[in-house]
Amino acid sequence: MSTPTLNAPTHWIGGDAVTGTTDTTDVVNPATGEVVARVPAGTAADVDRAVSAATAAFPGWAATDPAERAAVVHRISEGLRSRVEEIATTITSEMGAPITLSRAAQAGIPIAVASSFAAVAADFPWTEQIGNSLVVREPIGVVGAITPWNFPLQQVVSKVAPALLAGNTMVLKPSEIAPLTAGLLAEVTVEAGLPAGVFNVVYGTGPVVGEAISAHPGIDMVSFTGSTRAGRRISAVAAETVKRVALELGGKSANVILDDADLVQAVRLGLRMVFTNGGQVCGAWPRMLVPASRQDEVVEMAVAAAAEYTVGDPTDEATSIGPMATEAQRRRVDGYIERGIADGATLVFGGPGKPDGLHQGAYARPTIFADVAPDAVIAQEEIFGPVLTIIPYADDDQAVEIANSTMYGLTGAVFGSEERAFAIARRLRTGQVDINGAQWNPLAPFGGYKQSGNGREFGHHGIEEFLETKSIQR
């Protein structure tokens, strides 16, 4: 497997490429360990420059007719569509997603998200008459966006599209692990006619650039996707300037399989939601809750299905699971697998260490545990890897209790007869629940309960996140 050499990106501030300091951060291909690019190691001074550019651009962009803002976002969607292969190969190179997944999801979902937002804007209630009051929804100002490495472009577009539609200007800090598509997006925004300074990119680490964004008095809102630990820190820093903070954080979601479910469908879809992107998905379903009387049957199905997944070179069309995004992440996943074994869970597939024949690269073994206690470490903490925990339960009430027993509440699933599954879904303390493998809806709100966060993305709820509300009486 060869590693493509990518152009070294620069900060994008005020409509211009800005080099910044001479310090850089390596972007490493996790499948080979080779450096594929270097990005600037941004500083607080770079954030200052970006905030100044965004502040200067705000009045003009906020005053732009929403229909024109929507047209720009639509052109951004089309610009991304024209560069699907470039986006896909870039993401595969920088964080190891299999190329087929990169095309379909890593590149495809951002296009769908931007397009859906452009359509929603046409019917969005920018004003509302309530008695003698005109309620006006206005842009909040300069938005700081801090995004993760697991879906590097999708997570950016899920913030950029609604924030721009709402009339805000932005300063983006992409993850230093997978930052390269942020530069591609900046190019697309220029081609789409977005005015200079409306969208700015500053590369760098969380402790430097992320902290500067969170603390900056010129930033009116921070929108963050990432770990719960980092979300707590951002909230604490942002509180000093009482700015709004929207958080989409970790998850440990449950897939509740009822005794009248189609087990084949429930197990196969459930496993797919754990192994996709190497399990590096905040909305995955890593806890499979099954009736105790049917656990052996479920385990047999899960092991057979897991054997069909191919781990290997992410540039190979036949690969279904690539490497973890970094060697540090691989070691973290391995540590959890070893902890599961030490704590007495039954290892039925996979295990610690690298897969056979894959000595180079950050590869982890897809792993399945059975007989997992609901309060076990591997059942409570977010592993963020291809590790499924099968947890038996006695009845529906216990299934709900177990599903709600973690500090998280991002997504979940229920498989079973429609009415019964719906009743269980209503009882789950989580922001999104799929029943019997329901289709993803980009217009429905996405976000968490509890320590999975406090904001909502997608559809009109996603636009509302980036608006202030004013009441004018007359």
Q: Where in the sequence numbering do the catalytic residues fall?
A: 248
User: Quick one: tokens of 435?
Assistant: 């029943």
- CA–CA separation, 214 vs 395, rounded Å? 45
Asked if 386 and 305 touch (Cβ cutoff 8 Å), the reply is no
Instruction: Label residue 436 exposed, middle or buried (CB < 10 Å: 0-12, 13-18, 19+).
Output: middle
Pairing of strands 467-473, 133-139: antiparallel
The DSSP result for 384-398, as a single string, is -SSEEEEEEESSHHH
Length of the chain: 474
The DSSP result for 344-401, as a single string, is T-EEEE--SSPPTT--SSS----EEEES--TTSHHHHS---SSEEEEEEESSHHHHHH
Instruction: Label residue 169 exposed, middle or buried (CB < 10 Å: 0-12, 13-18, 19+).
Output: buried
- CA–CA separation, 248 vs 155, rounded Å? 10
Who contacts 211 (Cβ-Cβ below 8 Å, separation ≥6)? 237
- Scan for tokens 């399990």, then name that residue: 279
Query: What angle separates helix 66-81 from helix 84-95, to the nearest 10 degrees?
Result: 70
